[in-house]
Chain A
Amino acid sequence: MILVPVGEFPEWLLARLSRRTRIPLGPPRVDPAVAWNPGRGQYDSNRLLAELKAHYDGVVIGATACDLFIPVLTFVFGEAEMRGRAAIFSIHRLREEFYGLPENARLLESRALRELLHELGHLRGLAHCQDWSCIMSSAHSVERVDTRGDKFCHDCRLKLEAAGAAHGVPA
């Protein structure tokens, strides 16, 4: 499994995420411009997942600063193939500046880590969890991203272990 930037992404943050999750970094190969939708002024997340799979072998997680959408939703924080090999998450709506607030690098790192781990859970086959404090609980707003914890709950961890996928997932 590798972590790769898709388009411009703060290098310091990418390095921190890689270190904290122990997921090695990979080279940038996907240009987000291919997924640009001028009508919506956003990037098609489905298309980027397809691009990631086309450009990398093995499991790959893309990190982007682009604003992602899927056709029926106004936006998504991230997307992953369930039990698949590609996932992507965006920090666009995780930045405090998006909400008109002063920049907060520490908070951004904490939110980005949660999103990354959440998509990782989907890659390992986990669906959303009813436990609000679990990293796998669903979050459709940044407030919910902040509310949920940064760890897998006991049940989700057991499921990961049962699937033989707990290896490499940070506790």
Chain B
Amino acid sequence: MSEEKLSILIVDDEEVVRDSLVHWFTEEGYDVDSSASAPDALSKLAGREFDLVIADIRMPGMDGIELLEKIRSEQLDTSVIVMTGYASVETAVRALKHGAFDYITKPFDPDDLSVVVRNALEQHRLKRENRMLRQQLTEEASLNELIGGSDAMRRVREQIETVAGVDSTVLIEGESGTGKELVARAIHRLSPRRYNPMVVVHCGALTETLIESELFGHEKGAFTGAQYRKKGKFEAAMGGTVFLDEIADISLKTQTDLLRVLQEREIVRVGGTQAIKVDFRVIAASNRNLAEIVKEGKFRSDLFYRLNVFTIHLPPLRERHGDIPLLATHFLDKYSTQMNRKFTGFDRAAMDMLIAHNWPGNVRELENIVERAVVVGHEPLIRAHDLALPRPAEGAEDLSLESVERRHIVRVLEDFGWNQTQAAKALGIDRVTLYHKIRRYGLKPPAKAARV
């Protein structure tokens, strides 16, 4: 059993109830705190985590149900048990509907209270563990997606292994969709910080005020709408990794703040005065060449040098065409499994098309194209027309009746696995006519399905 005590927050406006429950739960070996009102409880919950909240339903001002709603809407990670002075089914149902784990009627039988609390804490522990395991699974699956036999990808994997263990700042450069976050996750997973969280900040998506609060947290009342104290990502990382995606998009002011945090290893929450020590590793990513942005005067050179300790360059997919079959097959397997479909590979024409495409959206675009093909395609093979890609010769597409007929016949034949009797039936012509057309257009079934 973990040595760390489970924590409980008692919320009741009656002092005698608070005192006796605090006393009782302290004896039971829990870490207990109490609040005389729902707003006070919320501010305590904003400051630290509690495994369980036990709140009275009837309180002046904000009642227990409203508190429960707030806890749910703020997505606070805690279980809630409500206490009621009256055994009313209606109240109990309301509480349960609003997400309470259970309710208990005052005065409690000590044995009942002990069982309800134990069950709530057990459920809370399981939820937390489940979330952590899911996260681990996602991260492990992500690592498997750093696929590619090309020299460029092999070098990337070597760089990840080299830098993971040394705790230095890493800068990942690469076009959108090349998998910068996957690389960051891989580094984190292989680093000694892997047992602590990796928190992601998409810098480009946030306004200047929001990014400050996101990174450094804020005190209650720091700005309009800041109703509760909130920890920033550097605090939330708790010894883990902070991944700053699209770092080139942050303002010069935030760059200055960030530089200070990287140097001092302490933060001050927005609206606060107290410096808080933080332990983290930074991995930053940019889809533009940061050195050039420094030259343009839009990025502080001192921050650039801080970040640019170890740089990993992710090649665009068009520079590693050789990896496309491997990646495409990986995504095909992934989505076939997810959607319970039985695709075994791509036919030759489809694979040729994938290899010929320029992939401006990189691996992410490839993944999306394959995912869509798994939805619309007919098992067992993905065919060229299942791929939502521009046709190779689209600019000069031959629209003559003959050419359209040829393409249509190929498509139907592929749909029926080159079974001429079935294809002829679908085309509304007899088998002999189809045979002549096949000869005339020189159509041939693929020699072998390409499962690359």
Residues in chain A within 8 A of chain B (CB atoms): 40, 46, 69-76, 79-80, 82, 122, 127-130, 138, 140-141, 144
Question: Which B residues are in CB contact (< 8 Å) with A80?
Answer: 27
Instruction: Flag if B24 contacts A73 (CB, 8 Å).
Output: yes
How far is B83's CA from A141's CA once the two chains are assembled, in angstroms?
A: 21
* A/B interface sample: 7 pairs, CB < 8 A: A71-B107, A73-B108, A73-B110, A75-B110, A127-B26, A140-B109, A144-B111
| Interface pair A71/B20, CB less than 8 Å apart | yes
Contact partners of B23 in chain A: CB under 8 A: 70, 79, 82
Measured between alpha carbons, how far is A80 from B110 in the docked complex, in Å?
16
Is A73 within 8 A of B109, CB to CB? yes
Besides A46-B19, A80-B27, 19 more A-B contacts (Cβ < 8 Å) are A40-B107, A46-B20, A70-B24, A71-B14, A71-B107, A72-B21, A73-B20, A73-B107, A74-B107, A74-B109, A76-B110, A82-B23, A82-B27, A122-B27, A130-B29, A140-B109, A140-B110, A141-B111, A144-B111
Bitwise interface map of B from 13 to 39 toward A, beta carbon under 8 Å scored 1, else 0: 010110111011011110000000000
B113: chain A residues within 8 A (beta carbon): 73, 140
Q: Secondary structure at chain A's binding surface: helix, strand, loop or mixed?
A: loop
Measured between beta carbons, the chain A residues less than 8 angstroms from B21 are: 72
Q: A46-B16, A140-B111, A141-B111 are in contact. Are A72 and B106 (CB under 8 A)?
A: yes
Kindly state the separation between the CA atoms of A76 and B27 in the bound complex, as whole angstroms. 13
Chain B residues within CB distance 8 Å of chain A: 1, 14, 16-17, 19-21, 23-24, 26-29, 83, 106-111, 113-114
Residues A74 and B108 in contact in the complex (CB < 8 Å), given A46-B16, A46-B20, A140-B114 = yes
Residues of A within 8 A of B107 (CB): 40, 69, 71-74
Min CB gap B102→A, angstroms: 15
Q: Given contacts A46-B20, A72-B20, A73-B107, are A130 and B1 in contact (CB under 8 A)?
A: yes
Bound together, the chains give a CA A122 to CA B111 distance in angstroms of: 19
B116 to chain A, nearest CB (A): 12
- Measured in the bound complex, the distance between the Cα atoms of B29 and A122 in whole Å is 11
A129 contact set on B, CB distance < 8 A: 29
- Give chain A nearest CB distance to B106 CB in angstroms: 6
CB distance from B57 to the nearest CB of A (A): 14
What 6 A-B pairs come out closest when comparing CB atoms? Answer: A140-B110, A140-B111, A127-B29, A70-B20, A128-B29, A74-B109
With a cutoff of 8 Å between Cβ atoms, the chain B residues found around residue A141 in the complex are 111
Q: Of the candidates A71, A122, A138, A144, which one forms a contact with B16 in the assembled complex, judged by CB atoms under 8 Å apart?
A: A71
Are A138 and B108 neighbours in the complex by a CB distance under 8 Å?
A: no
Q: How far is the CB of A147 from chain B (nearest CB, A)?
A: 13
Give complex CA distance A75, B109 in Å: 7
A145 CB to nearest B CB, Å = 12
Question: B111 — which chain A residues lie within 8 A by C-beta?
Answer: 140-141, 144
Partner of A82, one of B1, B19, B26: B26
